[in-house]
Amino acid sequence: MVEVTQSTIVTPSDQTPKHKIYLSNLDIVADRSYTPTFYVYPSSGMKDLFPIEVFKAALAKALVVFYPLSGRLSRDPQTGRPEIDCTGEGVNFLTEDLDATVEDFKDFKPSAEMRKMLVPVVNSADPPCIIMAIQMTRLRCGDIIIGFANHHYIIDGHSAVLFIKTLSAFARGNKSTIPTPFFDHSLLPKSLPIQRSVKHLLSVLALLWKCTCIARGLASDVETQLIIPVDLRNRFKPPLPETYFGNPTLRTNAVAKVEDLVSNMLKFGSNLIQNAVNSITDEFGRSLIDHLEITELESLGKLSSMSTSLMAVSWLSFPMYDADFGWGEPILMARAEMYGSGYVYLSRVPEMDDGISILIGLERDSMQCFKKTLYDEIEAARP
């Protein structure tokens, strides 16, 4: 049973600039939806661990630094192009009491029901609309879950982490770690050696791609692809500011016949993935931005059928668990709902330096075969 205990709008604690912010072509080809994520915090036996007012005060301060988030996604009245209208209206904030314990979420499966339970519901991601909504849920055992709905046109994974770090720093009273976000998207106008950790990631992606093809029972002559979003922040010359807030991301893809991918060693798939990622250069990125100028941008966000493909999103480089609001780091951070079949998210495991958490969405009749195939491949690779 869920009981909503508060629903309000949190506005910036101080005056903020009122103006419009241009969205780049790369922002607008992102998925037009709200990314649903949540963080789970144990009470650790402490009483009254539901400091709503402390959180709201920290949020109000964070919205001064990240003031565009308290605005609205709108459209240019002349061109109809999406843009940020920095109005300072605030973000949606609600609190709930949920008759459940943290044990109920240990083996959670992302779903529409999970999203509705833990993440604020936003009726439409079409402009005009809000940019962010936040929900604090108190469980029967005293633990807390904080859910975020972030509009993907404006907030990618890197940007979300930047905001969470700022919000949690204000909640702890630690102002020394507050960054200065960079909102000038006009840096994207129309006109590295492989380290061990990177090799490890490539092998994991190749393994997941191979196991997915086997689990789906794809014919040997079918062409399959692994789609990878690539962050351009450090690929542009000069690089974008470290605190760039937006979606400087391009999708690239590795393509192979199922027979070749399944019959060869993992290095075969790893090389295909590495070559696909290496193709995303400064020159390629800027030329694509130019090309998008003559394209119907908002029609490109959605992918077609993923029945033979896999979209792999890595959050491994993000400090996703650096979100201490004064009561410790979360014990779990994840998506509340998947886009659908053919999507996989990789994130780190708390307190495990080399641990990788894999969250994958596949067809129901393929999932058990995928799990068995994955474990069999891992076991066979052991020395």
**Final residue belonging to a domain, choices 170, 187, 204:** 187
Q: What pLDDT, on the 0 to 100 scale, is given for residue 370?
A: 93
**The pair of three-digit structure tokens given for residue 102, joined into one six-digit string:** 């943290």
Q: Is the domain of 10 the same as that of 107? A: yes
Collect all residues with Cβ–Cβ distance below 8 Å to 139 and sequence separation of at least 6: 98, 100, 101, 102, 145
Q: What pLDDT, on the 0 to 100 scale, is given for residue 299?
A: 61
Q: Is the domain of 343 the same as that of 278? A: yes
Q: Is the domain of 59 the same as that of 203? A: no
Q: What pLDDT, on the 0 to 100 scale, is given for residue 191?
A: 41
Q: What pLDDT, on the 0 to 100 scale, is given for residue 301?
A: 58
Number of domains present in the structure of the chain: 2
Q: What pLDDT, on the 0 to 100 scale, is given for residue 196?
A: 45
Domain with residue 208: its CATH number is 3.30.559.10
Q: What is the C-alpha separation between 361 and 338, in angstroms, rounded?
A: 7
**Final residue belonging to a domain, choices 138, 158, 187:** 187
> How far, in whole angstroms, is CA 135 from its chain's centroid?
17
Q: What pLDDT, on the 0 to 100 scale, is given for residue 185?
A: 66
Q: Is the domain of 226 the same as that of 373? A: yes
Q: Is the domain of 212 the same as that of 121? A: no
pTM exceeds 0.85 = no
Q: Is the domain of 171 the same as that of 238? A: no
Do residues 215 and 370 make contact, with C-beta atoms less than 8 angstroms apart?
yes
Q: What pLDDT, on the 0 to 100 scale, is given for residue 296?
A: 65
Q: What pLDDT, on the 0 to 100 scale, is given for residue 300?
A: 61
Strand partners, 244: 182
Q: Is the domain of 175 the same as that of 217? A: no
Q: Is the domain of 152 the same as that of 206? A: no
Helix crossing, 196-216 with 364-380: angle to 10°?
A: 130
Q: Is the domain of 158 the same as that of 220? A: no
Q: Is the domain of 332 the same as that of 251? A: yes
Distances (CA, A) of 62 to 49, 288, 290, 340: 21, 34, 34, 33
**Final residue belonging to a domain, choices 187, 219, 243:** 187
Q: Is the domain of 106 the same as that of 210? A: no
Q: What pLDDT, on the 0 to 100 scale, is given for residue 183?
A: 86
Active site residue 152: yes
Q: What pLDDT, on the 0 to 100 scale, is given for residue 192?
A: 38
Q: What pLDDT, on the 0 to 100 scale, is given for residue 221?
A: 95
Among 85, 151, 152, 158, the one annotated catalytic: 152
Domain that holds residue 155: 2-187
- The per-residue pLDDT string of the chain (383 residues; one tens digit each, 9 = 90 and over) reads 778 888 999 999 999 999 999 998 888 888 889 999 999 988 765 555 668 899 999 999 999 999 999 999 999 998 889 999 999 999 999 999 999 888 887 777 889 999 999 999 999 999 999 999 999 999 888 889 999 999 999 999 999 999 999 999 999 988 777 778 888 766 554 443 444 456 688 899 999 999 999 999 999 999 999 999 999 888 988 888 888 898 888 889 999 999 999 999 999 999 999 999 999 988 888 887 777 776 666 666 566 678 999 999 999 888 888 888 888 888 888 899 888 899 999 988 877 777 888 899 999 899 999 999 998 888 887 76
Q: Is the domain of 164 the same as that of 227? A: no
Among 31, 260, 322, 324, the one annotated catalytic: 324
